[in-house]
Structure 1
């Protein structure tokens, strides 16, 4: 799969009901690199978690941000912010990956498939959010909801593959899609969004540039713009003054621009968004493995002839900028770190399963119960592995686990999960229980298992309850260690096993995650209960 796709914002031209300004005039200042002093500053990355292929929109006074999730379920998370800097989880556009049995780990696996770069838009005429994305190069799906929290329902399935699509709700309420790799096309959808009315190629990328993809589609000040990425080091924009089908002219936005994360890549594949007072921002991502692809924010000005210019600091994407001037938020957003006691009866949207879960084998009721769902010695085949993004640059996950209902052959614990993985957890064999650190879980480039892991350290435990801890240093320029420890009282922790070196290749696309798992190697029937999960930073 070529480099995935990025954010898209909605045009500045929406109705008063959305709080956006129709036909907002663009600033006429050109690439002035000097920014005004301000008391308040924000630091990049604005969020050090893995949220790639960003699409960003504003509806009224609220910003929404959609991202890729590949094989994780539910898919296409939506984040919410009131200031472009502080974000919280709001929901998911794709409730379940019902695109074939491989997404259920049923005879096949969907690793590095699923939800790639997709698009989020809001249509004020019917007060509805739209998500559009292609799956498996087979067809395109459209989901809608009147609230980002859901419920999200499938509106239609289109047999056309809109690769790396950007959805535009134009000022006349017409739905357009910009899409493609190298060859860029625009499609017009029917008024109800269920069928394609027209499609036309509008641009062919020059060989001197190479690949352009990751389309985001805008109507700004009467012009149509298609924002495109050159993976993984450039960003370009197409502009048409003659309507959505062009002709378009091309301009480079950035190329090989130093980013604000030490050891990380070039900011790219993002989207544009306008604040309530008319200021523009570009939210891009930086390749920062092993943690993944991390969002960074920069202000944008426009030239007098209608081209965007990223505002730089010392000829690079700034490590900090003056904070956006926005209305006071109605409340503080929910922190991305902290404690989850699994209160209530549903999972919070920060959690995503590795592939679709077997919903008969887990429950939330003021605590999370994981019943064994798969008999396997391979964690990559085990269903009902529940994942949480790692907070950078370093963070620690601590889990309180009741293992008293485990059965012989069961394995349960806390993993650092990717195509190269390690975990700490409980093994029950022959009636004996041990806490173990397991290393050497690996996949090849086709995402087939090449190693199911080996025990690197162990200790005896008893009493039915244990605290497991994993600490991850995901700074891309560091040695990338993951370390594991355990406690029998929740206070005194004992290190177990050697440091695990997290991989930093980009080909798996998703970054490392903390993962809670429980699988059988002999027979189903056992269970564990997670009473508490805490994500903390130094």
Structure 2
């Protein structure tokens, strides 16, 4: 997984255009891997500690994506993933997936130090599922799953020294007498460097009889860049070169269109909104994929324009459910594994009910916080919540989730309720404002400005859903490696004294615009 700070330049202004613009998704969709089946593209991405996980998205044009499914409901059942006994999986969980289509079946694989295993999920239908799981030890870091023409199956994984291993025919583990060897030593050396992120994020293809391996490196003092190795045999020898060094856009691989055009899909660290996907045109020269336009990442692409990320990647939800509807649309993910006993969309039809099932010390340790991505260049998320079922010590509302989080919510203490704004800015949580609340239903809003990496947010409340009042201080949003994730909207309710209280969310509404004056 590529990590690090973004390069200090700005994105072009987001404006309507007759063609696609980079980034193609201005939201946290890191470690992408793509496959095309006919005229449909499928993309897998990292979501780490969130559940369900290993999201599968689909598109007909490489630009406009929608959620298709998740490969798993929960990665594993342990204290870290369940937010139990003081443990958590922030910045951990599953990373850097690989997605393949082989003999009519889809495969999505990932690895997790949190489970200690390599996980392979497979299905005949990535939209409807079900996804079935195979897993084995050890956990193979940033691997690429590869089905070769001769019927053998491999993974290449590791950092710096990249290792090729052969899998059993049923994919249940490493083949005892199979290939198991380092095929590329010190991958960063192709850039003439000796220190830094030495080469990871492996993705492998076989094109016209040759093998092509993509990796990311980050030389110390330099920027993230793409390297490519190629070989006539999977065991080598491999020759490598730097393929792209621009704006820190790196880590990903190759995809072709039905018309025969080629692109590299890559991502860029872009501050608090997260790691955002780019497409880079590819031409083939002397058997090598040549990335970019004159070596640069273009602002525009000869592809259809984006219709926006709503409702494909994020979406509003009135929590109205008809018979046969999913309990939660695919845009939602829980912060860590949920406890399904304590949430419902049927206890009060038209509402999401969150009930406290235990006592927690703070928001980051609270279970059953329901999340969606934020999006750039700016966005707004709002909720209405009925707090009449709260107990003393409860806190519920709307948050922007990262280690340095901010929230606007309702606290009940001594039978009275207050609206509060709480933020974390490289220290303990601080209550920046407190306003008495005399009614049962309140509207809450958070607005985010990612323009030119301002990375600031503001919080609001309304007593009637029409007139909004800013509350508390400006939140300076910071992408921190302990969480390793862009900021997400989060609906939450937790108890600090006794469990059993509940709140009912009437809606969550998201917009790609900020609406309130500051």
TM-score over 0.5 (shorter chain): yes
Distance 2:390 2:59 in 1: 41
Residue 460 of structure 1, CA deviation: 2.1
Distance 1:531 1:154 in 2: 35
Aligned to 2:299: 319
Please show how residues 151-300 of structure 1 align to structure 2 within 5 Å: 151-197=129-175, 198=178, 199-205=180-186, 207=189, 208-209=192-193, 210=195, 211-231=198-218, 233-241=224-232, 243-255=233-245, 257-258=246-247, 266-300=248-282
Distance 1:439 1:336 in 2: 27
Distance 1:287 1:278 in 2: 29
Aligned to 1:110: 89
Q: Alignment partner of 2:312: what SS?
A: coil
Does the 8 Å CA contact 2:80/2:114 hold for their aligned counterparts?
A: no
Aligned to 2:433: 457
2:36 maps to 1:55:
no
Q: Alignment partner of 1:102: what SS?
A: helix
Aligned to 1:497: 472
C-alpha spacing 1:178/1:240, structure 2 compared with 1 (3 Å): same
- Structure 1 window deviating more from structure 2 (522-531 vs 333-342): it is 333-342
C-alpha spacing 1:194/1:145, structure 2 compared with 1 (3 Å): same
Distance 1:46 1:460 in 2: 43
Structure 2 residue runs without a partner (length 5+): 5-16, 514-518
- Give the alignment's TM-score, normalised by structure 1: 0.84
Aligned to 1:29: none
Residue 118 of structure 1, CA deviation: 2.0
Does the 8 Å CA contact 1:116/1:135 hold for their aligned counterparts?
A: no
Q: Alignment partner of 1:437: what SS?
A: strand
C-alpha spacing 1:115/1:371, structure 2 compared with 1 (3 Å): same
Does the 8 Å CA contact 1:46/1:297 hold for their aligned counterparts?
A: yes
Residue 173 of structure 1, CA deviation: 4.3
Please show how residues 290-439 of structure 1 align to structure 2 within 5 Å: 290-303=272-285, 305-312=286-293, 316-323=296-303, 334-344=311-321, 345-365=326-346, 366-439=350-423
Q: Alignment partner of 1:360: what SS?
A: helix
Question: Alpha-carbon deviations, 1:124-153, whole Å to 9, x = none?
Answer: x24233324243483212122222235454
**Cα RMSD, aligned residues only:** 2.3
C-alpha spacing 1:369/1:491, structure 2 compared with 1 (3 Å): same
Structure 1 residue runs without a partner (length 5+): 5-38, 259-265, 443-449
Question: Alpha-carbon deviations, 1:21-57, whole Å to 9, x = none?
Answer: xxxxxxxxxxxxxxxxxx9411111111101111111
- Structure 1 window deviating more from structure 2 (46-55 vs 190-199): it is 190-199
Residue 497 of structure 1, CA deviation: 1.2
Does the 8 Å CA contact 1:94/1:152 hold for their aligned counterparts?
A: no
Aligned to 1:22: none
Question: Alpha-carbon deviations, 1:164-216, whole Å to 9, x = none?
Answer: 01112233443221111001111222222223222221110255334011000
Question: Alpha-carbon deviations, 1:319-360, whole Å to 9, x = none?
Answer: 1121169xxx9xx99433542112335111111111111110
> Structure 1 residue aligned with 2:42, among 38, 43, 64?
64
Question: Alpha-carbon deviations, 1:475-499, whole Å to 9, x = none?
Answer: 4532x21101111111111111121
Distance 1:369 1:228 in 2: 44
Residue 233 of structure 1, CA deviation: 1.0
- Structure 1 window deviating more from structure 2 (343-352 vs 332-341): it is 332-341
2:67 maps to 1:89:
yes
Distance 1:354 1:334 in 2: 21
Aligned to 2:9: none
